[in-house]
Structure 1
Amino acid sequence: MANPSFVYNPPMTPYLDILYQDKDMVVAHKPSGLLSVPGKALEHRDSLISRVNRVYPTATVVHRLDMATSGILVLALNKASHRHISKQFELRQTKKRYFARVHGHVEQDSGEVNLPLICDWPNRPKQMVDLERGKKALTHYEVVERKTDEKGFPYSLVALYPITGRSHQLRVHMLALGHPILGDRLYAHDEALSMATRLQLHAESLSFCHPSTGQWQYFQTPIPFSQYRPRSLSAESHTNQ
C-alpha cells in the first residue's frame, strides 16, 4: 500500500522555541509538523536546524525526531560538544521519555516490546518488524491512564522509554502491540487516525551529561495533547540504562 501524500506546511508560531542555551549546546522544542533537518526538495528546506542556524550559525544536529513527532532536541554548538553528546546517544547513556496516546486500552500496566526493525523498502519511509534481518529494537512502556473520548473510542496514555533509537521505533512497536498511536498517518488504522489531527507522540524528557561540566542535565516539556504532568526524570526510578 502506498504511503499517503502530504503537503509540507510547517507551523510558524512560535517560529523557534529555545528551552536552554550555553556556549556548548542549544536545547529546543520541535513542534509537530516541522522537519528536524532539511529535506531534498526545495519546498522542504524549512527545518528546526535551519531555524536554529539563523540565530546560532555553528549549531549542528546531534539526533533527530520524526517530522510528525514533537518534543525536545539538543544541538551542539562546537565539534567537541557534538562528539561528546553524540557518544552518549551512541552508547545509550542518555535518558529519554516519550508520551503517546494510543488506540484501545493497553492491558498490561507496564511491559516491553523487543522486536527488531528494518525498512519496509517498497513502502519507505515505513519500517517493519523483521525477526531475521531486522536491527535490535527495544522499548519499555508504562500505562498512565485508560480513557474513552467523546465519541466513545477507547485510548490509553502511555509513557515510552526507548532503549534503542531505530527509525519509527515507537510507532511500529505500539502497532505491533496492537495499539497504534493516534493520528499516525503511516501506521494507524482509520479509527485511530480519525481520533487526532496530529501524531500523538511527544518527546517529553531528555537527560544527558553536559559536555563541559560533566553534570547531568534534565529537560522537560508539557505534553501538548494531554493534561497529565509527569515528574521530572531526575525523580524517576525508571532509567533506560
Structure 2
Amino acid sequence: LALNKPAGLAVQGGTKTRNHVDRLLSAWGEGLARPRLVHRLDRDTSGVLLAGKTPPAAARLAGSFARRRAEKTYWALVLGHPRPQDGILSLPLVKKGVGDRELVVPAEPKDPRAEPAETEFTLISRAGDRVSWMALRPHTGRTHQLRAHMLAMGHPILGDPKYNTPESVALSAGLGLQLHARRLSLPHPSGGLLVVEAPVSPEMKAGFARFGFDASEADPEPFRRPGRGARRGN
C-alpha cells in the first residue's frame, strides 16, 4: 500500500498524538487485514510512505529496508550552495536535550551513544547563491538524519522549525519544511521492482514558486546520471 503522506501528519502515535497514519490504517480492517507500516517519515516531511497489506508482504518490505535494498530519494530546498555539490556525508549522530526539546546532533568522538549515519547528496538546481534544490539519499535511517546532516554541512533545509540558522529562518519565512520523500525504489514482495513517486506537496510547490524551480527540471534518478545540476540565474 503506497501512501502520499501530507506534511503535519504523524506516522505513529505518541504523547498527545491521536491522529496518525498507523491509526488510519484501521480503515482497511483489523487483525491480519490491517496493513503494517514498514518505515517512517517525520511528521513535517511529506511524500512516499509504504505499508504491507499482508504480514508476509510487510515482512519482505521491512527486510528490504533493513538490508538497505530500498533506494529513497528526497527533495530538499536548502540554504546556500553546498561545495562539493555532490558526495556522501558520513557523520555519526546522537540524541541530545537542547533547551526544552530533544534534537539530533553530530556526536562527539568516542561517544558511546553515537549512531552511524550516512547521507548521499547531489545538486539538482540552484537559485543564485541563496538556495539550492538538492536530492538526498539516506543510506541509514536515523531520526531527523537528513535535517541534522544538512545543518551540520552549513546548509539547513528551509522551513525547518528545529534544525535551522537565523539566515535560513529569515529566508524561508512563511514556508513549511522543504523536505519531500519524492521517490522510493525497492524489490516488490511478489517479484520485480517497485518504484513509487509522490506528487510534489503543497509545501514544496510554495518553495518552488518562491525561488523559481520547476519539478520538470529533475532527473528521476539523480544519483545515477552522468551530468550534474544546472545553475540558475539570480
CA distance in 2, matches of 1:76, 1:199: 27
Tell me by how many angstroms 1:122 deviates: 4.9
User: What's 2:229 paired with?
Assistant: none
Which whole-Å CA distance do the structure 2 matches of 1:56 and 1:108 have between them?
A: 49
**CA–CA distance in structure 2, aligned partners of residues 31 and 192 of structure 1:** 23
Contact kept, 8 Å, 1:99 with 1:223, in 2: the verdict is no
- Indicate conservation of the 8 Å contact 2:156/2:164, yes or no: yes
Q: Percent identity?
A: 32
Q: Which runs of 4+ in 1 moved over 6 A?
A: none
Match of 1:29 in 2: 4
Are 1:87 and 2:63 matched, yes or no? Answer: yes
Kindly indicate whether residue 148 of structure 2 is the aligned counterpart of residue 172 of structure 1.
yes
Q: Matched residue pairs, number?
A: 205
Measured at CA, do residues 101 and 53 of structure 1 come closer, stay the same or move farther in structure 2, by a change above 3 Å? Answer: same
Does 1:139 pair with 2:119?
yes
Mapped partners of 2:82, 2:139: distance in 1: 20
Choose from 191, 205, 208 the match for 2:183. Answer: 205
The change in CA–CA distance for 1:236 and 1:106 in structure 2 (over 3 A counts) is closer
Query: Is 2:207 the counterpart of 1:228?
Result: no
Match of 1:188 among 164, 172, 175: 164
SS in structure 2 opposite 1:143?
strand
User: Is residue 2:8 matched to residue 1:64?
Assistant: no
The SS at the match of 1:40 is: coil
SS at match of 2:175: coil
- Shift of residue 222 of structure 1? 2.9
Letter of the structure 2 residue corresponding to residue 140 of structure 1 = E
Structure 1: stretches of 5+ with no match in the other structure:
1-25
Shift of 1:207: 1.0
- TM-score under structure 2 length normalisation: 0.81
User: 1:56 Cα shift?
Assistant: 4.6
2:138 and 2:223 map into 1 onto residues whose CA distance is: 15
TM-score w.r.t. the length of structure 1 is 0.79
Tell me how far 1:93 sits from its aligned partner: 0.7
In 2, Cα distance between equivalents of 1:85 and 1:232: 22
